[in-house]
Structure 1
């Protein structure tokens, strides 16, 4: 994942261009190269050299942004369905359209969740795999407490990770569990509206959980998801300011800029953990 460092001859040749890059540093004082593996930073002894590392592959970025858009539409239409009093003039066609949009985007939501789970198992990129969410190595487990200390402001140093820190990964596990419950409760609500296959698949839950409770859980998860999204944005800004590795821009470009030795150490560690 980490591009090779330039040779000593290449470093001499590019000394002038390195100084030029220094003049165009980003807000964190990091120079960014033009290509994967281009070292772009101050001279030796002044600051560490940085390399571009492809952390988030294209499927992860596409699913991420499609989920964001899908959740916005699902939340808006779900809120309208759950608040029929705001139906302008009581027009039944207006509510019918709202329900249809909600169902179509719900199908897309299910497809995106399934796609992300499959990519967890099939991705060749170690930072997109399930081990980024479920700590499976001694090193990842050992980073949980430092992550908690960082997010609770007990320390100003973020855990040195390339992808997600283990606490963020565990949070995603909780989030996707919530998504699973949201899908199931949504199918139950579809079933009582006359959708035969949804009723056949999840109708038995009505004999276990009262319908009002199912509606409440479905609605509550929507608000919890928005709480996560707000915290997710906050923590991304926080880590980006502390680490200065391009966390915010990485979800668009897929790339982070890491100290060269940091990137090498983690590439070896991840190669070992993922076989």
Structure 2
């Protein structure tokens, strides 16, 4: 393979966001429905997911070229053409996300946002409850809690589809997207490499991270994690006393 060189495509903030999101979502899913300190961990990991989504929203505007939504959210015709090529097992290669991959990312971010939002307001009578569930009537909070479970399972399904899509793309194009999301680089021919724009300067990352850090301090400071860990035990004690 001559005439190829490694070119930065995925910047450092995008890669850190990606892998931290994988970790935070995994922790949230595993601790879902648990009680005590695991419920506190579930809440904390949910906050982390929310903060990461905030960062991604900011970075989609001020980040590096291939990290912006404008780079990988394609119109219907482009998506349709890509699907036709995909069905012939000869999809075109894209420097950034391909059209289907781009819309998968948008869908996952939307579902993750809905999972976080419903988690904040979800609750069940005498059971686990989100930090903002007390703002709603019990029946509505319980209904939202059921929606939270649906979104959590949908995230798992989308994650499986996403991984399968990456593997299929690797098989058909020979491009290892997993490695690229670790190193940040792709092998491009000289023409494409010369057309690549530089990644965003460090001050933009500092700005985005600073905004997220401030939001994180506020959110975590306002949450009584000790109360979350003991609330279920207290409820069980009361229930046993009533019996």
- What's the TM-score, normalizing by structure 1? 0.63
Gaps of 5+ in 1: 1-29, 31-40, 42-48, 82-94, 269-275
Deviation at 1:262, TM superposition (A): 4.0
Structure 1 residues 62-97: Cα deviation after superposition (integer angstroms, max 9, x where no partner): 01001111111100110x43xxxxxxxxxxxxx211
Counterpart among 148, 164, 181 of residue 83 in structure 2: 148
- Whole-angstrom CA distance in 1 between matches of 2:92 and 2:128: 51
- In structure 1, the residue corresponding to 2:19 is in which secondary structure? helix
Counterpart among 164, 168, 191 of residue 261 in structure 1: 191
Match of 1:98?
38
Match of 2:26?
72
Does 1:238 find its partner at 2:173? no
Deviation at 1:161, TM superposition (A): 1.3
- Whole-angstrom CA distance in 1 between matches of 2:130 and 2:24: 25
Structure 1 residues 155 and 263: CA distance shift in structure 2, 3 A: farther
Structure 1 residues 173 and 97: CA distance shift in structure 2, 3 A: same
Preserved contact between residue 51 and residue 259 of structure 1 (Cα < 8 Å): yes
Match of 2:232?
none
RMSD of equivalent CA atoms: 2.7
Preserved contact between residue 123 and residue 141 of structure 2 (Cα < 8 Å): no
Structure 1 residues 127-186: Cα deviation after superposition (integer angstroms, max 9, x where no partner): 001213433xxxx654311322244xx212222311111222122212111112111111
Structure 1 residues 188-234: Cα deviation after superposition (integer angstroms, max 9, x where no partner): 0269879897247xx35x59x83443122111111111111111111
- Whole-angstrom CA distance in 1 between matches of 2:76 and 2:94: 12
Does 1:183 find its partner at 2:123? no
Identify which range, 186-195 or 113-122, moves more after superposition: 186-195
Does 1:215 find its partner at 2:169? no
- Whole-angstrom CA distance in 1 between matches of 2:13 and 2:77: 29
Equivalent residues in 2 for 1:95-134 (5 A)? 95-123=35-63, 125-134=64-73
- Whole-angstrom CA distance in 2 between matches of 1:50 and 1:76: 42
- In structure 2, the residue corresponding to 1:156 is in which secondary structure? coil
Structure 1 residues 133 and 166: CA distance shift in structure 2, 3 A: same
Preserved contact between residue 17 and residue 56 of structure 2 (Cα < 8 Å): yes
Preserved contact between residue 111 and residue 151 of structure 2 (Cα < 8 Å): yes
Structure 1 residues 195 and 145: CA distance shift in structure 2, 3 A: closer
Gaps of 5+ in 2: 198-243
Preserved contact between residue 127 and residue 163 of structure 1 (Cα < 8 Å): yes
Q: How many residues align?
A: 196
Preserved contact between residue 119 and residue 128 of structure 1 (Cα < 8 Å): yes
Match of 1:22?
none
- In structure 2, the residue corresponding to 1:164 is in which secondary structure? coil
Match of 1:250?
180
- In structure 2, the residue corresponding to 1:109 is in which secondary structure? helix
Higher relative contact order (CA 8 A, sep 6+): 2
- Whole-angstrom CA distance in 2 between matches of 1:198 and 1:191: 13
User: Which entry has the higher C-alpha Rg, 1 or 2?
Assistant: 1
